[in-house]
Chains A and B, each alone.
Chain A
Amino acid sequence: MNNRNNRIGARSIIALFVLCLNTGALGQMGTPTPLPPAERQKAEAESKATGVLANYPHLVDITASTGIHFEHLSSPEAKFIAESMSGGVALIDYDGDGWPDIYFTNAQSVEMAQHGVKARSALFHNNHDGTFTDVTDKAGVGYPCWAMGAVVGDYNNDGRPDLLVTCLGGVVLYRNNGNGTFSDVTKASGLASDSAWATGAAFGDYDGDGWSDLFVSHYVDFHLDDLPAFGSGKSCKYLGLDVQCGPRGLKGASDNLYHNNGDGTFTDVSKKSGVDDPERRYGLTALWSDFDNDGKLDLFVTNDGQANYLYRGDGTGKFEDVALTCGVAANEDGLEQANMGVALGDYLHTGRMSLLLSHFDNEYAALYRNDGGMNFNDMSIVSGIARGTQGYVGWGDAFVDFDNDGWQDFFLVNGHVYPQVDHAPTTSKYLEPKFLFINQKDGTFRNASKLAGEAIQVAQVSRGLALGDLFNDGRIEAVIENLVGQPMILRPEGGPPNHWVSFQLEGVKSNRLALNARVRATAGDLTQLGEVISGGSYLSQHDLRLHFGLGSHERVDQAEVLWPDGKKEMLTNLAADRFYVVREGQGIVSSKPSEHGVKLP
């Protein structure tokens, strides 16, 4: 008995100190999440699968032919966390020509900053012929700040999309002047008070007054004149190696909500609205949506290594964090993960918006299925997403229908945080490939990352991801911003000749960009839900137009538009393969066919 007791005591001691050891040895963010039942074997099989995916387009790297020359600055050693988090990318049709343009954010290293070197962000104009032209200087958006990400909104309801850049030290709001130029109105709009490390941002009219309000999440309390020393302290180690410090061990920064006053200015209502993040969690990506379909906007914010926020809105400007009780704060074991990017979509055609979050390498991407009534369930493992994503550091992610079959697949870009990982005793590498998961239409996904062409297998240090039909031909391109080096633009080529439809919504009583307006499109047996979203992915902005793949259906039987002010508009019997512009209360105001004639270089 004594012997047994002694042994149990010894076990306890071991367990206790092993816990200690692990706290130092684990990654810097999130909680390790071992893959349970059957998933590892499947993952291994999938990782070995090669060949070609039948009836699915190849994702081809067309970056070189676009004429885009942009290089995100980087530090080879990434000694500071601020050097690892930038790279959001935004699609913005800034000149209103109906063709998405691209804005890449840029950030210097600490050393560069200390020597007065600035990083040049860049705006590329879509030439309608498959190429882009750098119009940064003319537009005046080259040097907003140490830029993290960018989102689009029309803060002054003039019908022209404005650009908000999040920075290491606040935000910069660029007003679109409508003549190819932008003006920095940060100070005039009252946003200059935002001075912390801003990461995610999202425009959304939470109180239904027709003016887009602005939420800004903040990450770490980081100052260039008080730098956490590389490799110092417990939170600056990774698998025994010295790495950048943080976010653990560093102070977080609280979030802000700015109410649009309707006169070109904003008022900080963070505290009274209940979204001020008094715990100072490490906020990253944010987006607005109506998760419980009650007609009132809710707000979702990912927090790195901490519980996410899901703020349920009451429509009047009061919010309550219900993430924990809804099941989206942590994984199925209640472990808080390194939540970074957010994909939002109705991948199951249930009429509800689910969430898919990207995570750190000792975790996996987490799929939270929206089961209605603010009830989410962690489907990461059963959906097959977990097994394909564990071991990688995920960032920008999105539901996307590359093959236009009417079912949203999942696309994720990766890249480690620490360059030092290449020398660590782990299989993880600094440069990582991208992932594509095909929707099996039954709640599961098939990992097709090695079956959709060589391009997505190219290892990079990716961060931002923005999706949009760059060439107006009915196919969705992926614009990926990399932390190190040039971006990558992927175009789906080949695959089935499925049909599609695209809607550009214009609010009248609602906010002009119709942010958070929804379209429920039905074509035969397909009923899909789309929502106009500001922000999301990882500090990025997708094309605001809603794109639906229609499979073999040549017409849309009906498209119900749910405007942010609650009004519904029904459009019926729409021809497929066209771009529709729908104005609130006026129905379709214009439509045009796809630009099949565009010859890509």
Chain B
Amino acid sequence: MAGSGRNALLEVTDLVQSFSQPRGILDRLAGRPVKTVHAVNGVSFDILRGEVFSLVGESGCGKSTTARTVVRLLEPKAGRIVFDGEDITAYSPSRMMPVRKKMQMIFQDPYASLNPRQRIKDIIMEPMLFHRTVSGKEEAESRMLSLLDIVGFRPEQADRYPHQFSGGQRQRIGIARALATNPSFIVADEPVSALDVSIQAQVLNLMMDLRDEFGLSYLFIAHDLSVVRHVTERLGIMYLGFIVEKGDRDSIFGRPLHPYTEALLAAAPTLDREKAAAPLQGDVPSPITLPPGCPFAGRCPRKMEVCDARRPSLLPVEGRMVACHLYGEE
């Protein structure tokens, strides 16, 4: 599955991320130990050039943390990140700078991710001027106008401020800003979940057109499975900081193997079905004390004895990778 032989733009291997919970003064006086949140626990995937790879899961599963660590907004605790042939795992902030312009982000909330005091043109020109991808103000201006045109704005709208635009328009401005430095890789963290359905389709179509036009690769983070099915070639399903199933779209949506993937697909409301299947019981366990066995064991309808005792590893099954004792040949 993972393809060092293929033309991977990004290769992530055994990535680990954790956070220490701040202790209050009482906790310190009482000598209580620092609690650690295990957000990402050994995640591996790769993304080919021009490919869309999605990380899917419910809140707290570590998908956004994985994305932020991959672009080095967070320091990885362990693992390896290779981007465009360079091992950037331990790059200093100044060494990251030239890499940064090749990896950009689109955020979930188009209201919070644009500076309300900057004009649209300045929002879009800032990254070009900062990374010096243009020779000067003049070139920046002409590139800004062509970017605005690409995402569907008229030149006279460049002087406006973010509050003069709707949510969907703002998201398109965020996309233009991400394209400003001519990146090859874009992390899109829930880019359409704050938008209305009819606007969501517009933004998704735009993102896919841009991929074809500029050969972009996307790391797409989402909780909405139908959106993921529409945009992605391959995906990984995350639960409690682990990838539990990983593979290409058609095998996973066609026949999910991991019981969690199955439950997630069954729970997603659809137009095509009369009634949902019996919903999964319980809640996601705490990422502070990880279960010793399978992370999903506590909610799994097909749990066996071995599941509490030993954590399953990600193994190839039917053309994809699955971490589940049901399929392990021991």
- Do A and B assemble together? no
